[in-house]
């Protein structure tokens, strides 16, 4: 029995207006669905529309046309406030440059994410944050500012923050793009493991090795899906 | 065009928001500086110029009568530029039923030929008909009349008459009538005669070339010539050649200088803050340029060019606005002093100085960040994220941690850019300090007035034009219902001569002789002592008199003249009080000078609360029945108001400076918050990406603003202490000649706290909007 669909993209397009130049279509009538668990890799050349697709899935941007629905919720029907609330509770976002808040400690970065959403009881937040940091292997760095951590440690802390509110969907934009080989391998393992835990992980990547480990591969070119391959389940 | 300029211009075009903020900051600084410097320049020129248009007399000789023949002969004397005849009659005018005020009625020789003490016609007739008067404009608020109305006048002999007003004039040599609760009117010889005052003009007024010491020589010569030619000279005065409120003007100009300096500081702080922020974003580009061979001076040139490109239009804009503000303030100051500002033009050197300062301040402010950027190693510059990455958590207050994560984030963010934080704090705190200082000085002035009035104890103070029998007048006043206590003092306007010119009066001032057991005077001596009760010829002077007559120091000898009688006296003490220039002595000395005992020139009365106005009116009738009229009459509320009105211009200046400082401080906060939010666009995007709702982002930015605002209240409070002390000292010693108490009013702190909350809200609105409006993905990609 296949996993239920978590994300449904229907005819989505995204057009960017460029001052002094022609407008640019980053995505052109893309339609696809993504299941509620497993690792999905989105690949393609620079400018092919990968990050735009990821932003639309995560509710970080709105399409120019078409609709995005996640867990049956049409993101277009949500206002800014509702979208923020939904995003905090349902989506974890991992960025290429980590984007930990530099004035908060690693632990505080996680706590802040839980503060915003409020789904984890206040008394449980600290222990949950420490458990998540332990899971990604940076619990000993919890009280340090992000600037004191290596790139790999920061990215792992960022993954822990993305998991803070236990979202069903994790999206990652080039999560290994700014890491050395060893750190990239650690992060790849971590995200793959999370996908195996019954979570849907969507990763935009240039790393062919990482893409090869995905359950499904979506290739974009010029804003259109040119390849959509599901790996045969090993079990 | 040079590639340097091209790069500077295109970089600015690429960041129009920041460029606008920098322009705004520089323009504000230039505007504040221009207001202070230009207003000072205009007032410094126009105040004496306007005063001089009145052709004020260099010397005044009191004679029996001055006719045309005498005037012609005096005009021909060496050193005399011109001469005219005038008469001053102290009268009363009824402004409401039974409400009489002081009227200085001038008898004029020829309205068509004003040679000394001239005035300008503003409306109506230039020469009043027989039985009519012209009135001076500054007394109109007191009189409440216009052309065609009539005024009821009571003259020294006690006669009353109704005189139509036929014209309004402006006499810039007179203190504003509304401030002294008095009015001025001008009438012909014939009108004076009709009032029963005789048609004579008893003052010979001359103008001379040269300074005050030259004037003394010429006045001596003229006095000698008059005596040799059979004219009896009762008195010679050399009035101070300055506006009656010259001290206030000098203080105001001094304060304007202080505020010019503050404006310069604020301007620098603001410019430094925004230019540093502008350059921070250029760090990577600097790295790239260095990598392709740019030398330090090339890079410095580009960014200095960028600052010049911004500073030129900003300074022009700021100067324009500043000149407009300077015009408004100078006009206000002129009206407060009863002076007309003939020209608001600002001299080319002053404008050049402002332009230089307007360009130099941002360039100097930018020099440090430019030098820092230029020295940065290539690799570091290339990796510079454009925003400081903190190395320590930097919790300033442990308590902040208890306010929750957003508060921690807000406070830590505030300290992200310590230099900018301090500059913003400084600008904002200076605004608060200026506001608190204005409040403190205001309270201090009012406290000084109230303390002065409290020490006197009377509710009604009357100076009689002609002394009357003390016992008789007291008997009448003390039996009036509502009178709690009354005293009759010796008192008169006396002429004095300090120095080696016996018989040459420098001016006339009030001499007061309270009884030894007076309950209505308790002024502490600041130098020397009070006159001994039985010593003849001992005087105490107040600081206001000392400011005009510096020779009157403790131990100084002076000759007093009252009518035909004179007396040698010695200054034995000095007092400080909120009052006109005055001397004090004992009744014995006054009796010796007046030649008779038991005369009262001053009546002071304590009444039951609330009955001052009615009793003052009744006492005036008693005085008239006794054969005199009040030369001055003040109830305590009226006197208090008059004293406070005299400070109006200083308070207005302080308030204007406070307002300007608040605006600059508020904008500084807005600029700083705008830049903070701009620099952290990506971080705010991340916060939104992890679930922060718009309200949470709004709260975060506002908390950061309030963190700065709270600190500004504290810092402003500290800064206000030395600033208040300095301004209180300047206003007290230079303007009022007394030691003002340093008052630190809680009201100022409260008002500033409320204002700063509102300012923060306003300052953060734009930043909040921008932070929320930008799509999250765009915010994350920002950089």
> pLDDT tens-digit profile of A107-144?
988 988 888 888 899 999 999 999 999 999 999 999 99
Contacts of A108 in chain B (CB under 8 A): 405, 408-409
CA atoms within 13 A on the CB side of B522: 9
Strands B557-562 and B565-575: antiparallel
Q: Nearest C-alpha of chain A: how many angstroms from B410?
A: 9
Last residue of a domain, one of B386, B410, B435: B386
Q: Is residue A96 a part of any domain in this protein?
A: yes
Residue of B nearest to A107 (CA): B405
> Which helix (H) or strand (E) segment is B213 a member of?
helix B212-228
B91, exposed or middle or buried, with CB in 10 Å at 0-12, 13-18, 19+?
A: buried
In angstroms, the CA B383 to CA B681 distance is 18
Strands B525-528 and A5-16: unpaired
Q: Give the best residue of A20, A61, A84, A172 to mutate against chain B (max B CB count within 10 A).
A: A84
CB contact under 8 A, B392 and A145: yes
Quote the ipTM score: 0.74
Contacts of B395 in chain A (CB under 8 A): none
Q: Is residue B245 a part of any domain in this protein?
A: no
In angstroms, the CA B591 to CA B598 distance is 8
CB contact under 8 A, B691 and A116: yes
In angstroms, the CA B154 to CA B197 distance is 11
Q: Nearest C-alpha of chain A: how many angstroms from B764?
A: 20
Q: Give the best residue of A46, A101, A146 to mutate against chain B (max B CB count within 10 A).
A: A101
Q: Give the best residue of B690, B768, B772 to mutate against chain A (max A CB count within 10 A).
A: B690
CB contact under 8 A, B393 and A103: yes
Q: Nearest C-alpha of chain B: how many angstroms from A101?
A: 7
**In 3-state terms, what secondary structure has residue B383?**
helix
Q: Is residue A191 a part of any domain in this protein?
A: yes
The range of the structural domain enclosing residue A104 comes to: 37-61+83-230
Of A61, A117, A162, the CB nearest to B777: A61
Residue of B nearest to A91 (CA): B690
Q: What angle do CA B688, B689, B692 make, to 5 degrees?
A: 35
Q: Is residue A29 a part of any domain in this protein?
A: no
In angstroms, the CA B262 to CA B255 distance is 10
User: Phi and psi for B406 in degrees, rounded to 5?
Assistant: -60, -35
Of B389, B392, B696, the CB nearest to A116: B696
B328 plus B263 within the same structural domain: yes
Q: How many beta-carbon pairs under 8 angstroms link A with B?
A: 97
Write out the residues of chain A at the interface with chain B, using a CB-CB cutoff of 8 A.
Answer: 51-52, 55, 58-62, 80-81, 84-85, 87-89, 93, 95, 99, 101-105, 108, 111-113, 115-117, 145, 147, 161-162, 164-165
B29 is written with which tokens? 């600084």
Strands B525-528 and B565-575: antiparallel
Q: Is residue A47 a part of any domain in this protein?
A: yes
Q: Which residues of chain B have pLDDT under 70?
A: 1-7, 157-158, 211-213, 247, 260, 263-264, 267, 271, 274-275, 277-278, 280-281, 284, 287-288, 290-294, 377-404, 406, 414, 417, 497-506, 782-783
In angstroms, the CA B664 to CA B128 distance is 52
pLDDT tens across B15-29, in order? 777 778 778 778 877
pLDDT at A234: 42
Of A88, A115, A161, the CB nearest to B404: A115
A227, exposed or middle or buried, with CB in 10 Å at 0-12, 13-18, 19+?
A: exposed
Looking at every residue in chain A, the average pLDDT score rounds to: 88
B541 plus B663 within the same structural domain: no
CB contact under 8 A, B690 and A55: no
Last residue of a domain, one of B566, B590, B610: B610
Of B391, B405, B416, the CB nearest to A112: B405
Of A116, A161, A162, the CB nearest to B692: A116
pLDDT tens across B190-204, in order? 999 998 888 899 999
CB contact under 8 A, B777 and A55: yes
Q: Give the best residue of A103, A116, A149, A169 to mutate against chain B (max B CB count within 10 A).
A: A103
Of A60, A112, A164, the CB nearest to B780: A60
Q: Is residue A7 a part of any domain in this protein?
A: no
Q: Is residue A73 a part of any domain in this protein?
A: no
Contacts of B692 in chain A (CB under 8 A): 84, 88, 116
B43 plus B68 within the same structural domain: no
B404 plus B374 within the same structural domain: no
Q: Is residue A31 left, alpha or beta, with left meaning phi > 0 and alpha meaning psi from -120 to 50?
A: beta
CB contact under 8 A, A88 and B389: no
B211 plus B78 within the same structural domain: yes
B95 plus B146 within the same structural domain: yes
User: End-to-end alpha-carbon separation of chain B, Å?
Assistant: 29
B776 plus B764 within the same structural domain: yes
**In 3-state terms, what secondary structure has residue A123?**
helix
Task: Identify the CA nearest to A65 among candidates A14, A134, A2, A26.
Answer: A14
| A6 close to A70: Cβ distance less than 8 angstroms | yes
Q: Is residue A134 a part of any domain in this protein?
A: yes
Of B409, B686, B694, the CB nearest to A99: B686
Task: Identify the CA nearest to B71 among candidates B106, B107, B105, B109.
Answer: B109
Q: Is residue B617 a part of any domain in this protein?
A: no
Residues 6+ apart with CB under 8 A from B301: B4
Task: Identify the CA nearest to B304 among candidates B672, B7, B676.
Answer: B7
Higher model confidence: residue A41 or residue B258?
A41
Q: Nearest C-alpha of chain B: how many angstroms from A232?
A: 33
pLDDT at A233 over 60: no
CB contact under 8 A, B404 and A165: no
Last residue of a domain, one of B194, B214, B237: B237
- Please name every residue paired with B487 in a beta bridge, in sequence order, or none if there are none: B604
Contacts of B696 in chain A (CB under 8 A): 84, 116
Q: Nearest C-alpha of chain B: how many angstroms from A79?
A: 10
Per DSSP (E only), the strands in B173-329 are: 182-188, 203-208, 235-237
Q: Give the best residue of B418, B680, B688, B689 to mutate against chain A (max A CB count within 10 A).
A: B689
In angstroms, the CA A113 to CA B695 distance is 15
B533 plus B516 within the same structural domain: yes
What number of other Cβ atoms are within 10 A of residue B478's Cβ? 14
In angstroms, the CA B57 to CA B82 distance is 9
User: DSSP code of B523?
Assistant: P
Contacts of B401 in chain A (CB under 8 A): none
Query: How many folded domains does chain B comprise?
Result: 4
Axis crossing angle, helix B296-336 with helix B283-291, rounded to the nearest 10: 150
Contacts of A60 in chain B (CB under 8 A): 689, 775-777, 780
In angstroms, the CA B126 to CA B454 distance is 45
B8 plus B46 within the same structural domain: yes
Q: Is residue B632 a part of any domain in this protein?
A: no
Of A85, A93, A99, the CB nearest to B693: A85
**In 3-state terms, what secondary structure has residue A222?**
coil
Of A51, A87, A108, the CB nearest to B689: A87
The range of the structural domain enclosing residue B684 comes to: 395-456+638-783
pLDDT at A28 over 70: yes
Q: Is residue A162 a part of any domain in this protein?
A: yes
B158 plus B138 within the same structural domain: yes
CA atoms within 13 A on the CB side of B311: 28
**In 3-state terms, what secondary structure has residue B359?**
helix
Q: Nearest C-alpha of chain B: how many angstroms from A111?
A: 8
Sign of CA dihedral B478, B484, B489, B493: negative
| B593 close to B577: Cβ distance less than 8 angstroms | no
Dihedral (Cα; B387, B392, B396, B402), 10-degree rounding = 100
| B683 close to B393: Cβ distance less than 8 angstroms | no
B149, exposed or middle or buried, with CB in 10 Å at 0-12, 13-18, 19+?
A: exposed
B648 plus B582 within the same structural domain: no
Q: What is the CATH number of the domain that holds A192?
A: 3.40.50.300
CB contact under 8 A, A87 and B690: yes
Q: Report how far apart, in Å, the C-alpha atoms of B603 and of each of B288, B582, B633 are.
A: 87, 16, 9
Of A102, A103, A117, the CB nearest to B691: A117
User: Phi and psi for B159 in degrees, rounded to 5?
Assistant: -75, 150
| B481 close to B593: Cβ distance less than 8 angstroms | no
In angstroms, the CA B41 to CA B387 distance is 43
B518 plus B486 within the same structural domain: yes
| B279 close to B373: Cβ distance less than 8 angstroms | yes
What number of other Cβ atoms are within 10 A of residue A192's Cβ? 16
Distance of CA B587 to the CA centre of its chain: 38
> Which helix (H) or strand (E) segment is B669 a member of?
helix B648-679
Q: Is residue B623 a part of any domain in this protein?
A: no
Q: Nearest C-alpha of chain A: how many angstroms from B310?
A: 24
Write out the residues of chain B at the interface with chain A, using a CB-CB cutoff of 8 A.
Answer: 389-393, 404-406, 408-409, 412-413, 416, 682-683, 686-696, 772, 775-778, 780
């Amino acid at each position: 029995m296949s996993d239920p669909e978590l994300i449904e993209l229907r005819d989505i397009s995204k057009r960017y207006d460029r001052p002094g130049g022609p407008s640019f279509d980053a995505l052109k009538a893309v339609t696809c669905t993504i299941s509620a668990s497993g690792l999905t890799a989105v690949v393609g050349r620079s400018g092919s529309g990968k990050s735009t697709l990821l932003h639309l899935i995560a509710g970080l941007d709105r399409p120019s046309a078409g609709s995005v629905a996640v867990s049956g919720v049409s993101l277009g029907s949500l206002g800014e406030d509702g979208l923020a609330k939904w995003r905090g509770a349902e989506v974890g976002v991992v960025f290429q440059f980590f984007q930990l808040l530099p004035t908060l400690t690693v632990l505080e970065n996680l706590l802040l994410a839980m503060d915003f959403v409020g789904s984890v009881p206040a008394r449980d937040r600290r222990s949950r944050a420490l458990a998540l940091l332990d899971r990604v292997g940076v619990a000993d760095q919890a009280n340090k500012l992000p600037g004191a951590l290596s790139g790999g440690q920061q990215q792992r802390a960022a993954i822990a923050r993305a998991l803070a509110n236990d979202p069903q969907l994790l999206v990652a934009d080039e999560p290994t793009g700014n890491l050395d080989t060893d750190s990239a391998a650690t992060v790849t393992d971590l995200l793959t493991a999370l996908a195996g835990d019954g979570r849907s992980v969507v990763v935009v990547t240039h790393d062919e090795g990482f893409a090869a480990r995905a359950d499904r591969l979506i290739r974009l070119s010029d804003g259109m899906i040119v390849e959509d391959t599901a790996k045969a389940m090993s079990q | 065009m040079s590639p340097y300029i091209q790069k500077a211009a295109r970089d600015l075009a690429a960041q129009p928001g920041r460029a606008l903020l920098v322009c705004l900051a520089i323009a504000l600084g230039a505007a504040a500086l221009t207001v202070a410097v230009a207003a000072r320049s205009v007032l410094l020129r126009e105040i004496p110029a306007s005063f001089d248009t009145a052709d004020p007399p260099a010397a005044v000789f009191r004679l029996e009568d001055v006719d045309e023949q005498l005037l012609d002969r005096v005009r021909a004397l060496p050193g005399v530029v011109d001469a005219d005849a005038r008469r001053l009659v102290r009268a009363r005018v009824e402004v409401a039923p039974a409400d009489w005020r002081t009227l200085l009625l001038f008898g004029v020789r020829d309205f068509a030929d004003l040679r000394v003490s001239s005035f300008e016609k503003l409306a109506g007739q230039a020469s009043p008909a027989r039985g009519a008067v012209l009135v001076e404009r500054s007394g109109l608020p007191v009189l409440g009349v216009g052309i065609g109305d009539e005024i009821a006048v009571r003259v020294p002999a006690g006669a009353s008459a109704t005189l139509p007003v036929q014209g309004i004039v402006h006499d810039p040599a007179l203190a504003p009538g509304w401030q002294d609760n008095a009015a001025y009117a001008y009438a012909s010889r014939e009108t004076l005669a009709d009032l029963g005052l005789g048609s004579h003009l008893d003052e010979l007024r001359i103008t001379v070339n040269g300074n005050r010491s030259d004037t003394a020589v010429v006045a001596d010569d003229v006095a000698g010539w008059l005596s040799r030619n059979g004219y009896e000279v009762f008195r010679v005065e050399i009035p101070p050649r300055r506006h009656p409120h010259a001290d206030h003007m000098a203080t105001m100009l001094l304060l304007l200088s202080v505020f010019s300096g503050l404006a310069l500081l604020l301007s620098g702080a603001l410019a430094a803050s925004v230019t540093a922020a502008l350059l921070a974003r250029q760090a990577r580009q600097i790295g790239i340029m260095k990598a392709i061979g740019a030398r330090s001076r090339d890079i410095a040139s580009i960014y200095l060019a960028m600052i010049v490109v911004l500073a030129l239009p900003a300074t022009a804009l700021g100067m324009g606005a500043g000149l407009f503000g300077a015009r408004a303030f100078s006009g206000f100051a002129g009206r407060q002093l009863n002076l007309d500002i003939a020209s608001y033009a600002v001299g080319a050197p002053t404008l050049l100085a402002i332009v230089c300062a307007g360009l130099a301040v941002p360039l100097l402010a930018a020099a440090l960040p430019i030098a820092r950027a230029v020295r940065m190693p290539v690799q570091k510059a290339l990796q510079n994220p454009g925003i400081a990455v903190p190395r320590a958590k930097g919790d300033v207050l442990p308590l902040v941690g208890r306010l929750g994560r957003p508060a921690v984030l807000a406070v830590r963010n505030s300290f992200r850019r310590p230099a900018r934080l301090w500059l913003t704090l400084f600008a904002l705190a200076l605004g608060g300090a200026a506001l608190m200082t204005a409040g403190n000085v205001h309270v201090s002035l009012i406290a000084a007035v109230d303390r002065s009035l409290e020490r006197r104890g009377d509710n009604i103070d009357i100076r009689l034009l002609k002394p009357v029998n003390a016992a008789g007048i007291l008997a009448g006043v003390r039996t009036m219902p509502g009178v709690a206590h009354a005293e009759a003092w010796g008192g008169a306007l006396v002429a004095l001569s300090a120095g080696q010119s016996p018989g040459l009066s420098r001016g006339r001032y009030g001499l007061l002789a309270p009884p030894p057991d007076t309950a209505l005077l308790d002024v502490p001596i600041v130098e020397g002592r009070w006159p001994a009760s039985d010593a003849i010829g001992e005087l105490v002077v107040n600081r206001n008199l000392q400011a005009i007559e510096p020779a009157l120091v403790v131990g100084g000898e002076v000759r007093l003249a009252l009518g035909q009688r004179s007396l040698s006296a010695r200054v034995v003490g000095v007092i400080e009080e909120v009052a006109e220039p005055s001397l004090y002595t004992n009744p014995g000395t006054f009796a010796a000078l007046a030649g008779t005992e038991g005369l009262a020139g001053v009546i002071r009365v304590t009444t039951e609360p609330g009955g001052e106005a009615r009793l003052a009116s009744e006492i005036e009738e008693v005085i008239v029945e006794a054969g005199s009229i009040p030369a001055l009459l003040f109830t305590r509320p009226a006197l208090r108001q008059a004293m406070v009105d005299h400070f109006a211009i200083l308070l207005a200046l302080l308030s204007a400076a406070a307002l300007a400082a608040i605006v600059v401080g508020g904008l500084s906060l807005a600029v700083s918050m705008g830049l903070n939010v701009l620099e952290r666009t990506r971080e705010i995007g991340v916060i939104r990406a992890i679930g922060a709702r718009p309200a949470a982002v709004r709260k975060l930015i506002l908390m950061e603003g309030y963190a700065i605002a709270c600190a500004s209240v504290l810092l402003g409070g500290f800064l206000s202490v030395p600033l208040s002390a300095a301004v209180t000292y300047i206003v007290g010693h230079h303007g009022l000649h007394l030691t003002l108490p340093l008052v630190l009013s809680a009201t100022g702190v409260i008002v500033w706290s409320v204002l700063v909350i509102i300012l923060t809200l306003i300052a953060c609105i734009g930043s909040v909007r921008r932070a929320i409006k930008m799509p999250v993905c765009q915010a994350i990609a920002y950089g």
